[in-house]
Amino acid sequence: MSNSYLYFYLYVAIFVIIVTLYRARQNRKQTGHTAQLQHAVESGLMEPPSLHPVVDTARCFGGGACVKSCPEQALGVVNGKAVLVNAAHCIGHGACAAACPVEAIKLVFGTEKRGIDIPTVTPQFEANVPGIFIAGELGGMGLIRKAAEQGRQAMNALRKKTGGNAEFDVVIVGCGPAGLSAGLSAIEHKLRYKLLEQEDSLGGAVYHYPRQKVAMTAPVELAIIGKVKFGEVHKEKLLEFWLDVVKKTGLQIAFRERMEAIEREHGNFVVRTNRGSYTARTVLLAMGRRGTPRKLDVPGEESHKVVYRLIDPAQYQGQSVLVVGGGDSALEAAISLSEQPGTHVTLSYRSAAFSRVKQKNRSALEQQEKTGRLKVMLNSQVTRVTETHVEIDYDSIPQKLKNDAVIVCAGGLLPTPLLQKIGIEFATKFGTE
């Protein structure tokens, strides 16, 4: 046999080995994705919270580029096609759609079972109420880059509005990417503006991302700053960038100021907050869809030691901490806190059992409870918060627990009723763009 035949058979053998190994690897991945999908179905976690991908199976060839692009690992390949295997994890950043080489993915709002209310706006982002504009997550745009672009474009449109004799040209509600971008545009166009943020930090939903989470994967155009090319950037670096922008531009932000009502008086808008009221020619609503944190409504809740999110478990080392809530965020907070040295953790939930939580969180919680690192109090309700203790009704029996911090993970109250009272119209999306 000649050398040419030997080389041919050698190349064929190598090719067969490579294909076999590749298929074996893909089969292992698909087996894992199938298990993830089955677990999500059994746990009732198949409803995405907002904007999410829908895959055209006729176009999809299962290459997996979309899967690799998803930081939340919400997508997988099952039976040779891309599918949402962790729908509840999807935050709608749209990296999967951009990564798909055959354009088999589109981003939609809502599902056939659960509709999502999206405000009706014009191409210039003006709501049906003249003078009120909506940009960013509230309008259904969770993508950081596009939310920032909407904030900039909305300002370009509303600055052309004239008339009225108001204190401000615009009141901007919300300090996420859309609100920050709008604030920079207000400075650029020399508008009199008021930028409100109900929390004590900027960044909106980005601030609540887990540590080291990839937050942005595309360039963004900002007034004054110009085009910013991030590539993939973690949450911490993005927030650091925003803080630097605020410092350099002198952007003024009113933190801990929550919008409570918008009224119309003498041709202007009156924006009422928990700290006062402001008259404005126009209003830009750039708040998120998480809404206002749901509170306990008990005496002492206004204490500085009561917070509504867990950012860094390490800051609670050696303390007695109460976590309130029964969802995944509450369980994850309690688990991470219980892993800190010397921290005593209690998890309080008003119902008799946890429902619609991930099995891995349930298992981890049970493990930590068995080791004595945390205590679970089902059928319990906080009744009072004091400087040194919390009072809880546990199975209808009053108890008093030593306490240094309370973390409430009870979800949020969406702003929809408030906006409807203003007159803003919504369209309910059932799996449509």
SS3 222: strand
* Chain position carrying tokens 């109250």: 413
User: pLDDT tens, 218-241?
Assistant: 678 889 988 887 666 666 777 788
- State whether 24 and 79 are in the same domain: yes
The overall longest dimension of the chain from CA atoms, in Å, is 98
- State whether 408 and 419 are in the same domain: no
Q: Output the pLDDT for position 262.
A: 93
- State whether 243 and 359 are in the same domain: no
Has residue 12 got a pLDDT over 80? no
Start-to-end CA distance of the chain, whole Å, equals 63
Q: What is the mean pLDDT of residues 398-409?
A: 95
Tokens of 247: 């410092």
Distance CA 407, CA 374 (A): 14
Q: Output the pLDDT for position 180.
A: 92
Q: Which of 365, 406, 368 is nearest to 387 (CA)?
A: 406
- State whether 396 and 422 are in the same domain: no
392 domain residue, yes or no: yes
Query: Could you tell me which residues come within 8 angstroms of residue 309 by beta carbon, excluding any fewer than 6 positions away?
Result: 208, 293, 407, 409
298 domain residue, yes or no: no
Quote the number of domains for the chain: 3
CB of 143 closer than 8 Å to CB of 92 = yes
Q: Output the pLDDT for position 22.
A: 64
113 domain residue, yes or no: no
- State whether 390 and 374 are in the same domain: yes
More confident residue, 2 or 61: 61
CA of 233: how far to CAs of 215, 238, 239, 356, 399, in Å? 6, 7, 10, 31, 46
CB of 138 closer than 8 Å to CB of 287 = yes
- State whether 146 and 78 are in the same domain: no
394 pairs with which residues across the strands? 380, 397
* Chain position carrying tokens 């040194």: 388
326 domain residue, yes or no: yes
pTM check: above 0.85: no
Q: How many other C-beta atoms lie within 10 A of the C-beta of residue 76?
A: 24
CATH of the domain at 92: 3.30.70.20
Q: How much is the CA Rg of the chain, to the nearest whole Å?
A: 25
Q: Which of 333, 311, 181 is nearest to 236 (CA)?
A: 311
Strand pairing category for 320-324 and 412-413: unpaired
More confident residue, 305 or 10: 305
User: pLDDT tens, 109-137?
Assistant: 777 777 777 888 888 999 999 999 999 87
- State whether 242 and 391 are in the same domain: no
User: pLDDT tens, 295-304?
Assistant: 899 999 989 8
Has residue 80 got a pLDDT over 90? no
CA of 148: how far to CAs of 191, 221, 416, in Å? 18, 8, 22
User: pLDDT tens, 408-418?
Assistant: 998 777 677 88
Q: Output the pLDDT for position 298.
A: 95
Distance CA 314, CA 397 (A): 32
CB of 103 closer than 8 Å to CB of 54 = no
77 pairs with which residues across the strands? 82
Q: pLDDT band at residue 66, thresholds of 50, 70 and 90? A: confident
**Domain with 15 in it:** 3-108
* Chain position carrying tokens 């199938």: 34
299 domain residue, yes or no: no
pLDDT averaged over every residue in the chain: 83
- State whether 408 and 418 are in the same domain: no
Q: How many other C-beta atoms lie within 10 A of the C-beta of residue 296?
A: 20
Q: Output the pLDDT for position 213.
A: 54
- State whether 91 and 126 are in the same domain: no
Q: Output the pLDDT for position 138.
A: 78
Among 77-86, 120-129, 372-381, the least confident range:
77-86
- State whether 147 and 278 are in the same domain: yes
Has residue 275 got a pLDDT over 80? yes
The residue type of 265 is E
Distance CA 208, CA 293 (A): 12
Tokens of 198: 């109900």
- State whether 195 and 249 are in the same domain: yes
Q: Output the pLDDT for position 11.
A: 74
Q: What is the mean pLDDT of residues 374-382?
A: 95
300 domain residue, yes or no: no
CATH of the domain at 147: 3.50.50.60
54 domain residue, yes or no: yes
Of 108, 131, 151, which residue constitutes the final position of a domain?
Answer: 108
Q: Residue 398, exposed/middle/buried by CB under 10 A (0-12, 13-18, 19+)?
A: exposed
Distance CA 186, CA 168 (A): 11
Of 77, 108, 139, which residue constitutes the final position of a domain?
Answer: 108
Has residue 311 got a pLDDT over 70? yes
User: pLDDT tens, 329-360?
Assistant: 899 999 999 999 999 999 999 988 887 677 78
301 domain residue, yes or no: no
Helix ranges (DSSP H) in 159-271? 177-188, 235-249
User: pLDDT tens, 312-328?
Assistant: 899 999 999 999 999 88
Q: Output the pLDDT for position 320.
A: 96
Q: pLDDT band at residue 403, thresholds of 50, 70 and 90? A: very high
293 pairs with which residues across the strands? 412
Q: Output the pLDDT for position 141.
A: 62
- State whether 192 and 101 are in the same domain: no
